[in-house]
Amino acid sequence: MSSATQSPHVDLRFLRDDGHLSTGIGVLVQGALPPVLPAFAGILVMGVLLFTGFEDLNGVTLFAPAAALLLSGVASAHPHNGRFDWIVPPLLRAAEYLYLCALGYGSGVPGPLVFALVALVIFHHGSAVRRVRHGIPPSEWARLAMLGWDGRMLLIAAGGALGWLPFTYGLLLGYLAVLLAWETTTSWLSAPVTAVAVEPREGQGGAVASDN
């Protein structure tokens, strides 16, 4: 288990990688719901929609699996301090990978393009875990600019609804690549040497839970 799940002071909401929409839904509920059940429910509904309507994913139906996963957004403001809440970020990440792969490969998007986009999102998530370990969180503007799992999925769905799916995959790939390269390079170069070189002691983390 990574330090992100070991330390009670690490804010797992940072690792969820929520976008504007999921965060807004969570604010409305004000953290009243624990996150595990909504995440499982959203992923279950998304999976059913993907596999039962796989050949008919076109137009507005492209949004249905992504919208179903937004069920997990109702718990985005919860402090994620429960015993099993650490499982929610991996579940959301796996759901995003599944959606991008299923939609891309099932709709005739070139395989290398789908692979490159999914690999880049995986790199983004891996970088987030690494940042937690070293206490170098990204700037707020960069976090918002990454769109979150919900923003990325809905953008791909919109591209598919307009008939621009390969173009949308390529556009999102280029956008994320430039953003990640710039922000990752500048943030790590500006970090103190001790923050990069020294592993945090037990009880420390890169993203500290806030009161809100």
Domain count, the chain: 1
Whether 204 is in a domain gets the answer no
CA distances from 11 to 25, 128, 172, 207 (A): 18, 12, 27, 5
Dist. CA 93–CA 197, nearest whole Å: 28
Residue 42 has pLDDT above 80, yes or no: yes
Residue 12 has pLDDT above 70, yes or no: yes
The pLDDT assigned to 193 comes to: 54
Residue 210 has pLDDT above 50, yes or no: no
The pLDDT assigned to 80 comes to: 87
CATH number of the domain that residue 26 is part of: 1.20.120
Residue 205 has pLDDT above 60, yes or no: no
Whether 156 is in a domain gets the answer yes
Domain holding 132, by residue range, is 3-197
